[in-house]
Amino acid sequence: MQRRVAIIGVGYTPFRPITPDMSFKEMMFEAAQKAYEDAGVCPRKDIDAFVTCEEDFTHGRSIFNIHTPDNIGAVMKRIHTLPAESLYGLADAFMLINTGLVDVMAVESHSKASNMLTPDYLVAHAMDPVYNKPLGYNPYFIAGMEMNRYLHDSGVTREQCALVSVKNRANALLNPDAAYGDRIAMDDVLESETMFWPLNRLDMSSPADGGIVMVVACEEKARDLCDKPVWVRGVGWCSDAPSLETREWGEAVYARLAGEMAYRVAGVTNPRIEVDFAEVDDTFTYKELQHLEALKLCAPGQAGFMVEEGATQREGAFPVNVSGGSLGVGRLDEATGLQKVLEVVLQLRGEAGPRQLEDVSVGLAQSWRGVPANSGAVAILSNE
Amino acid sequence: MRKVAVVGAGMTKFMRRAQETGKELAWETAKLALDSCELTVKDVDCVVMGTAPDAFDMVHMKHEYLSDGAGAWRKPYVRGFLGGGTGVFTACQAWYHVASGMFDVCLAVTEEKMSSCLPHPQGAFVTCWDQFTESPLGTSLLWFFAWEMNRYMTSHGITEREIALVSVKNKKNALHHPCAQLPGEITVDDVMKSEIMAWPVKRLDVSPTSDGAAVLVFASEEVAKRITDRPVWVQGVGWCLDTMYIGQRDLYYPKYVEYAARMAYDMAGIKDPRREIDIAEPYDPFSYKELHHGEGLLLCDKGEAVRLLVDGETQKTGRQPWCPSGGALGVGNAIAATGVMKVAELFWQLRGEAGERQVPGRPRRGVAQAWGDEMQVGTVVVLGV
């Protein structure tokens, strides 16, 4: 350890609530073409290995990775699938490049959530098949319980959570690729339908479709191929207890440990000073606050005040989810983590258009695997 | 490149229907593997999981559910997936977790529970195919194997009786494997008389469906030298995936296995695999597959594997034993766990710990391979001492 690793190309399709005009194969192809064009590489000649991140059930098939190689130019090459959140794919590329076995690698993930007619029933199959699934609950009750416990432990209020939704949906208005940009007020969130108490409809993100591909390279190749490499300074990932009966409900332990690992790899000792902005998981409003605390991006118990004071606004001292996050962009299933990385890359390259942040050099992307999982990953990126 | 060793291994008995949950199978086996090298779960830096389609257990994000069983509580944990090639790929994945320098000890856990898929795991495969060009044919997985076996036989003029010898050999080898599900002394006539599943595939040409788990412990050079005086080194890894359109491939030869093998051999510095490899564990979910894969692994010329078999060269006492474990045909086919079972067999054989299965001489290098998806992926690991 350790070779320096950089993201040298990104490609993506716009994030939309439905995509009737494209199959997942076409989405993969479009994102891959754009990423290879961006990096100036030919997948047949220049890319040594590929990793795709997708789950079988969200595609309604067994062994989804059968369908991956042709769409991204990976036929007869090293390619494998991680049935995991896509930030794990970036970590995977980071490791493979660090072995010295490969120099250039592509990471792919996509969401075709609109194909799922009854996604909640599907997620119910992720519950423990012996103890929990037979109870027949909608699995999102877990988020309600977790939110309640988090509010109780941390002193964060429902109003502060609602402000996260207001902020992220407003941020999304400046992101032409976001599906759910909106100008709403705190009361709109508090008065929206109660879904899983205390979680209201506007506290929850909605699904969206989209494909993302990134080209990742070792330092020599990155300098050779790219004017504006974005360095992957550290990655970390962690799984906490999967069972509902034994897990920690108030604290996002997986995010804390994944963050500690990423900071260690990146050599970051004081994240609140060294990191300029973050894209953290905001599948539900309280998750953004819970994750900011777990990642030590604010003092313990201060996340609620941060959002209240506007510190996490785009113009604030520590911008969070400038892209709009999952609340504004849409929840992209396995591709959510790469969307977070994408925003950090665009900001660090200075290509974020009207939502561009000034003077940023280090950004953090974090993901959570979603209900009912208790795991997630972190990446720390820098343009220096 | 950092050197990585396999330092411990363990597996459960493969069986038709295990009473344990997947979590329990995973933990029981992880404990066995850790005990074998006198480590505890506290010494493990990270965990990789290999397990085949979620549809077998009908558990979405199955690896998340299995994580604490796999010993991954509050540890970095990820699952890799390459269909039937998953098992050997899990070993590749564990290798790069350690070789990257990020971790020193990695637990590679594979678990499979096929019995929960009722009435038969075949049902999980009907949603594999392309929904426009293949699914409407109403195919079962066995049809694909029948096409491929027929194409292989026809291309090289091989007979069903010759191929049946693979089943005879592997089920016999499995007699000495304490974890074997379907060992036995059978004859070529038994295979020929068994029920035709999809011609030319007969029941005794097919491996059983199984429940089971297999686990390996990988360690960096420094740790390996500290905890054991007999480390088995990972010398090469390779994996390769061919096109998803089966109609665009000539099924007579697994080119993707060759590509994966070449990657692994290049890494290991192997020029002539026929001479430099002492034992092989090609994936044998169907009898002809052992021959097909042996050719893909460049262990003989195309179409010549059957000669090695008939001449006894691939027997346990032959020049280059193939599937001394008993393979998927004899030990059982708990998909992902079978891949790791094959790597574990190399580990035991190379350490001289294979008991009654031990091949004569002192094998110094072996290759294990798995295969999967829609006849399209090859995964290869070369181990040596």
Give the 3-state secondary structure of residue B187.
Answer: coil
Mean pLDDT of chain A: 96
Confidence of residue A1 (pLDDT cuts 50, 70, 90): low
What is the pLDDT at residue A382?
A: 98
Give the 3-state secondary structure of residue B172.
Answer: helix
Nearest to B127 among A1, A61, A128 (CB): A61
At A13-31, the pLDDT tens digits run 999 999 999 999 999 999 9
Confidence of residue B1 (pLDDT cuts 50, 70, 90): confident
B112 at A interface, C-beta within 8 A = no
Q: Choose among B260, B240, B266, B228: nearest CA to B350.
A: B228
Report whether pLDDT(B247) > 70.
yes
Q: Minimal Cα distance from B238: which residue of A?
A: A78
At B210-221, the pLDDT tens digits run 999 999 999 999
**Is position A42 within any domain?**
yes
Mean pLDDT of the A337-356 span: 98
Q: What are the chain B neighbours of A123 within 8 Å (beta carbons)? A: 60
- For residue A135, what are the contacts with CB-CB under 8 A and spacing of at least 6? none
Report whether pLDDT(B285) > 60.
yes
Q: What are the chain B neighbours of A98 within 8 Å (beta carbons)? A: 99-102
A20 at B interface, C-beta within 8 A = no
At B53-70, the pLDDT tens digits run 999 999 999 999 999 999
Q: What are the chain B neighbours of A100 within 8 Å (beta carbons)? A: 1, 99
Confidence of residue B183 (pLDDT cuts 50, 70, 90): very high
User: For residues A11 and A87, what is the distance between their CA atoms, to the nearest angstrom?
Assistant: 15
**Is position A11 within any domain?**
yes
| CB-based contact A62 B79, cutoff 8 Å | no
**Is position A104 within any domain?**
yes
Cβ under 8 Å to B: A residues 76-135: 76-84, 88, 91-92, 94-96, 98-101, 122-123, 125-126, 128-130
At A242-283, the pLDDT tens digits run 999 999 999 999 999 999 999 999 999 999 999 999 999 999
Q: What are the chain B neighbours of A96 within 8 Å (beta carbons)? A: 96, 100
Mean pLDDT of the A319-324 span: 98
Report whether pLDDT(B138) > 90.
no
At B253-270, the pLDDT tens digits run 999 999 999 999 999 999
What is the pLDDT at residue B246?
A: 86
Cβ under 8 Å to A: B residues 203-262: 237-245, 255-256, 259
User: For residues A296 and A303, what is the distance between their CA atoms, to the nearest angstrom?
Assistant: 10
Mean pLDDT of chain B: 96
Mean pLDDT of the B12-32 span: 96
Q: Choose among B163, B164, B186: nearest CA to B175.
A: B186
Q: What are the chain A neighbours of B1 within 8 Å (beta carbons)? A: 99-101
For chain A, how many structural domains are there in total? Answer: 1
Q: How close, in Å, is residue A147 to chain B by CA atoms?
A: 21
At A119-172, the pLDDT tens digits run 999 999 999 999 999 999 999 999 999 999 999 999 999 999 999 999 999 999
CATH superfamily of B4-119+208-384: Thiolase/Chalcone synthase (3.40.47.10)
Cβ proximity of A1 and B104 under 8 Å: no
What is the pLDDT at residue B251?
A: 94
Per-domain residue ranges of chain B = 4-119+208-384
Confidence of residue A300 (pLDDT cuts 50, 70, 90): confident
Q: Which is higher by pLDDT, B118 or B222? A: B222
Distances (CA, A) of A157 to A162, A306, B136, B254: 9, 12, 54, 60
Q: What residue numbers bound the domain in which A213 lies?
A: 5-117+208-225
Cβ proximity of A299 and A48 under 8 Å: no
Q: Which single residue is written with the structure tokens 């969206």? A: A208
Cβ proximity of A7 and A232 under 8 Å: yes
B54 at A interface, C-beta within 8 A = yes
Q: How close, in Å, is residue B199 to chain A by CA atoms?
A: 25
Q: Choose among A342, A92, A42, A22: nearest CA to A213.
A: A342
- The CATH number of the domain where A68 resides is what? 3.40.47.10
Report whether pLDDT(A320) > 70.
yes
A379 at B interface, C-beta within 8 A = no
Q: What are phi and psi of B151, to 5 degrees?
A: -65, -40
ipTM over 0.85: yes
Report whether pLDDT(A2) > 90.
no
Mean pLDDT of the A187-201 span: 97
Confidence of residue B233 (pLDDT cuts 50, 70, 90): very high
Confidence of residue B131 (pLDDT cuts 50, 70, 90): confident
